[in-house]
Amino acid sequence: VVVDVGDDAAAVQMAGSDKLLLFTCDMLVEGTHFRRGWSGFSGEKLGWKALAVNVSDIAAMGGRPTYALISLALPGGIEMEFVDEVYSGLLRCAGEYGVIIAGGDSVGSPQGVVIDVSLLGEVEKGRLVQRKGARAGDLIAVTGSLGAAGAGLHILESQIPLIAGGEDLIAALLEPRPRLAEGRALAESGLVSAMMDLSDGLADDLPRLCQESEVGARIFAKKIPVHPACRELFDGGLEHALCGGEDYELLFTFVPESLPKIASALKKAGAQPPIVIGEILPPDGGLQILLPDGSKSPLPEGFKHFSS
Amino acid sequence: VVVDVGDDAAAVQMAGSDKLLLFTCDMLVEGTHFRRGWSGFSGEKLGWKALAVNVSDIAAMGGRPTYALISLALPGGIEMEFVDEVYSGLLRCAGEYGVIIAGGDSVGSPQGVVIDVSLLGEVEKGRLVQRKGARAGDLIAVTGSLGAAGAGLHILESQIPLIAGGEDLIAALLEPRPRLAEGRALAESGLVSAMMDLSDGLADDLPRLCQESEVGARIFAKKIPVHPACRELFDGGLEHALCGGEDYELLFTFVPESLPKIASALKKAGAQPPIVIGEILPPDGGLQILLPDGSKSPLPEGFKHFSS
């Protein structure tokens, strides 16, 4: 094993191959990660998301997803239509990201729905990007706006009346779009020193990248690309952008001189330019955020999934 | 994909390799597959079993397991000791069968414990054995005794007082021993026409092998190797041997002339001789069992997991 527990996916050396095999799995549990009663929720979206979050793990390593297996636990009495919807969402996501669903199994569940997707992928040996590798002086960037999914979750869970713009936030939560083209372009550029996907929120995930890289970091609140609807509806939206999670944008680092080449690599891939949000500090620099009022603060703890 | 949904594992062609990659996953759900309150149950045994049932899938394809990923869903308030036990059982099973645990993740669960293991494996291209391939005239054999796990489940679920011999039956359920050496020896012999593992019971699983192979089958009740304690405690034990499931013995077929060579291959692997229980019929032969009184009966439906 090249990369073990603690990165987005495991990477395994295959005898006789110039590629590494990537291997990841993520489980979505009803009542922890979703509720069937949510406004806008469907089996189709659950299927999409269950595969999409795994594709994001592969993208975060610079890889390309290949084959998936599905484990589904279903309460007795669930409509077959729901199961068909789940598979239709899985297949739509598989089609979009070039994944082959190689098998699946369903078992009974005494309570809610559980879906676990295992996904294989591959990456050229020299192109693997890990959480470790960031160095003091590197810039920290993300691939897109943050906070939408967390704001969408807040709307669904607090059952506040649906406000204009709220639908986009809920859609971001229910149907995340993993940054596969971006991850590939960044890996192929050879210029990225560390990368991961933002599944738990910047405030939780950046410390993980820093821990694996053995560095500190400083981010600038003003530079964080808060999703417009999140900003408008939630008083600037910084809390959701930092702590909300499930945005599935990529977080990555590189030396400042590489910025133009990285921008050009992303452009070629049809993606947004990198959004620089901060810089990597030496190990003793700690983890800090510069707030809009100019004050410094340690990075807040990300909130956990609502059930915990 | 060489083998798709419907076999024990998926088999994938890897560019530049003379081996096929095997890929399987199985989910165990509290209340469907186990109860934490069962006599003899422990987190350690749950960990063992969660990996063991996947190793059995790889064994059934003639392969060798390699890397595993673990997804664990845990109710709030569960003791960390339980989680440590689960990992200790996973590691014990991994050590026994040569598996490397390459990663794992745990999430919250509003109700019971769920564990899903994804397992990779490999098999030389010429050695893959599938459910399809059995031909009329082939003998049908199993690697060991049947009915113990089903009888153990019956004892635990009916809460009948624990009788002498019952511990062995419960142990068979809680700590199955996948037939990896047997699967490898059978695959390497090159003499096996079809193979699968007995996870749902002969009455459910043999029809699957026959369906994939497009053949019929006849088995002889008298030849079924009912586990001694199951036979003694459950009136001959045939019902558990046919319908109980979770024995994780291998079911396989071969031409009659190969019997001595197959016996010798298994002996070399330190395993029991093959136990012949019947024969493959032409497609129009149906699925039948010859009962001890000489009468013929269609194969009974296997019972489903107790919760369904």
The sheet carrying B216-220 orders its strands as: B194-197, B250-254, B139-142, B275-281, B216-220, B287-290, B296-298
- Measured between CB atoms, does A42 come within 8 Å of chain B? no
Please tell me what DSSP assigns to residue A303. P
Residue B304 — pLDDT band, cuts 50, 70, 90?
A: very low
Query: With a CB-CB cutoff of 8 Å, which residues 114-133 of chain B face chain A?
Result: 114, 116, 118, 120
- Buried b or exposed e, range B175-184, using 16+ CB within 10 angstroms: bbbbbbbbbb
- pLDDT tens digit string along B110-132? 989 999 999 999 999 999 999 99
- pLDDT tens digit string along A96-132? 999 999 998 899 999 899 999 999 999 999 999 999 9
- Measured between CB atoms, does B305 come within 8 Å of chain A? yes
The interface pTM score, or ipTM, of the predicted complex is 0.92
Q: A283: distance to nearest CA of chain B, Å?
A: 26
Cβ distance of A17 and B12 shorter than 8 Å:
no
**Which distant-in-sequence residues (6+ apart) come within 8 Å of A233 by Cβ?**
A151, A163, A165, A166, A169
Query: With a CB-CB cutoff of 8 Å, which residues 130-189 of chain B face chain A?
Result: none
Q: A9: distance to nearest CA of chain B, Å?
A: 8
- Measured between CB atoms, does A64 come within 8 Å of chain B? no
pTM for this one?
Answer: 0.94
- Measured between CB atoms, does A88 come within 8 Å of chain B? no
Tell me which of A294 and B300 has the higher pLDDT: A294
Q: Answer whether residue B306 shows pLDDT above 60.
A: no
Percent of chain A with pLDDT over 90: 82
Mean pLDDT, chain A, integer: 92
- pLDDT tens digit string along A183-197? 999 999 999 999 999
The distance between the two most distant Cα atoms of chain B, rounded to a whole number of Å, is 59
Q: Say what the pLDDT of residue A5 is.
A: 60
Label each residue of chain B as H, E or C.
CCECECECCEEEECCCCCEEEEEEEEEEEECCCECCCCCCCCHHHHHHHHHHHHHHHHHHCCCEEEEEEEEEEEECCCCHHHHHHHHHHHHHHHHHHCCEEEEEEEEEECCCCEEEEEEEEEEEHHHCCCCCCCCCCCEEEECCCECHHHHHHHHHHHCCCCCCCHHHHHHHHHCCCCCHHHHHHHHHHCCCCEEEECCCCHHHHHHHHHHHHCCEEEEEHHHCCECHHHHHHCCCCHHHHHHCCCCCCEEEEECHHHHHHHHHHHHHCCCCCCEEEEEEECHHHCEEEECCCCCEEECCCCCCCCCC
- Cα–Cα distance, B169 to B171 (Å, whole number): 5
- Cα–Cα distance, A102 to A280 (Å, whole number): 41
Q: B100: distance to nearest CA of chain A, Å?
A: 8
- Measured between CB atoms, does A15 come within 8 Å of chain B? yes
The distance between the two most distant Cα atoms of chain A, rounded to a whole number of Å, is 59
Tell me which of B1 and B32 has the higher pLDDT: B32
Q: Answer whether residue B140 shows pLDDT above 80.
A: yes
| CB A263 within 8 Å of CB A271 | no
The H or E element containing residue A44 is: helix A43-60
Q: Answer whether residue B160 shows pLDDT above 90.
A: no
Mean pLDDT, chain B, integer: 92
Q: A70 to chain B: nearest residue by CA?
A: B25
Report how many Cβ contacts below 8 Å link chain A to chain B.
165
Q: B106: distance to nearest CA of chain A, Å?
A: 9
The β-bridge relationship of strands B275-281 and B114-124 is: unpaired
Q: Say what the pLDDT of residue A293 is.
A: 82
- Measured between CB atoms, does B76 come within 8 Å of chain A? yes
Q: A20: distance to nearest CA of chain B, Å?
A: 11
